Every structure is written in structure tokens, then in C-alpha cells.
Chains A and B, each alone.
Chain A
Amino acid sequence: DADVTQTPRNRITKTGKRIMLECSQTKGHDRMYWYRQDPGLGLRLIYYSFDVKDINKGEISDGYSVSRQAQAKFSLSLESAIPNQTALYFCATSETRSTGTEQYFGPGTRLTVT
């Protein structure tokens, strides 16, 4: 079984709808991240969480919110989806070390907003 799972894997939604993307991990890591990937732009950090009570904005958090329901679960919500939020979304996890630690990625959720 995969260590980092994301649901759904694909989603098509309409402008203005609320949508939630979910991430679960079995790696036992405290740190979790949400990124979006757009062609030619690489990965950009949306939100990150160091533990259940510590949630922080990344470089592109506008229009998104998150919830860390447990150590193993980190959800990303789009309160009112818009077409430019069409992208590939990745969840990642890492160990609690100060730095130099790699991140482990889920398989991604492809979101299309029409």
C-alpha cells in the first residue's frame, strides 16, 4: 500500500463549488504539505503543517484553506473554486528534523474547474 494517498485522483467541478481534497499518510511523519503543479511553473507551496496544531500559509494560499484532522490526515479545501485553480495538487510529508529532510509525495489529484 502507498505511504501517502490522495483522494480523489481526478475531479471535475464547476466554478463556485466547494471542494475538498484529502491526504492520508502511514509514514508517521509530523510534517505535511500541499502543493500545486502547473505546466512550466514547477511545484508551489500552498499550505504546510508541522503538527496538528501548527498550520502555516505557503506562497500561494489565497483561495485555499486546510484542516489537519489528525497526524495522518491533511485536507485542502477550495471554498469557491475558480478556473485558474485547475491544476495538479500534491500532498507531501516529511520527518521532523530541522532541515535537510526529503519530502515524500502522494500520487496527486488532478482538478479541473469549469
Chain B
Amino acid sequence: AQSVTQLDSQVPVFEEAPVELRCNYSSSVSVYLFWYVQYPNQGLQLLLKYLSGSTLVKGINGFEAEFNKSQTSFHLRKPSVHISDTAEYFCAVSGGSNYKLTFGKGTLLTVNP
């Protein structure tokens, strides 16, 4: 079985500040990790994914995430956020021969001017 915990349900920040959205996972097998973003009234869009190799993954819109196997974490970071980054962010995991994605409950990032 696999599960995902997003440690913050809401994260308010000011524009141009750095941000970190935290994600922890549990799985009994090797994992593949994803971050999706959902802008208001839209579907989910892939930000980045970790399949193997370098533990630092770069995605779209200046986001990056670091896979930490020992801490079972996959935190998402951006050094300087914009108003347009306001959205809900979902961490997801799949693993082994399990094709299914298991999603966290989401973190609402609100960027204030």
C-alpha cells in the first residue's frame, strides 16, 4: 500500500518570497513521485516528476523538488513566487507494478501582493 501526506493544507506567502510545499510518502516498493498543479477552475497539470536518477528535479514555472529516500519526502520549492502561482498543489505517488496514482489532499498556495 502507498500513501501521501501533504503537511500543510494552506500556505500563504507574499509575492517574491520563497516557498516550500511539503510532501511525505509511504510505500513498500520503489516509488515514482509527481507534483501536479490545479489553477482555479482548471484540471490538473503536471509540474514535475521523479522517476529515477538525480534526486533534484526541475519542473515548469521555476519549480523544483528534491527526492529524499531516507526521509521519504518529496518537497516542492520555488525561490521566488508570483501572484500567478496561486493554485492548489497535489503530490502523488505510484510504485512498483502498481500503475495507480495515490494523491495527497492538496496544499492551497496563496500568493499575496
Show the binding face of A for B, using Cβ within 8 Å: 4, 31, 40-45, 48, 58, 90, 92, 94, 98-108
Contacts and interface: CB of A to CB of B under 8 A. Distances in A.
A88 B49 CA distance: 24
B94 A99 contact: yes
A99 B103 contact: no
Contacts of A105: 36, 43-45
Contact of A107 (B42, B101, B103, B104): B42
B103 A43 contact: yes
A90 B101 CA distance: 14
Contacts of B69: none
B32 interface: yes
Nearest to B52: A100
15 contacts: A4-B43, A42-B105, A45-B100, A48-B100, A58-B100, A90-B43, A92-B44, A99-B95, A99-B96, A100-B32, A100-B51, A100-B94, A104-B46, A105-B44, A107-B42
A90 B94 CA distance: 18
Interface in B57-113: 90, 94-101, 103-106
Nearest to B48: A102
B9 interface: yes
Contacts of A100: 32, 51, 94
Sort A-B residue pairs by CB-CB distance and give the 7 closest, nearest first.
A105-B43, A100-B32, A42-B105, A105-B44, A42-B103, A43-B103, A107-B43
A102 B96 contact: no
Contacts of B25: none
Contacts of B45: 105
Contacts of B44: 43, 90, 92, 105
A48 B100 CA distance: 9
Given A42-B105, A94-B99, A100-B51, 15 more contacts: A4-B43, A41-B105, A42-B90, A42-B104, A43-B90, A44-B103, A45-B101, A90-B44, A99-B97, A99-B99, A101-B99, A102-B34, A102-B49, A107-B42, A107-B43
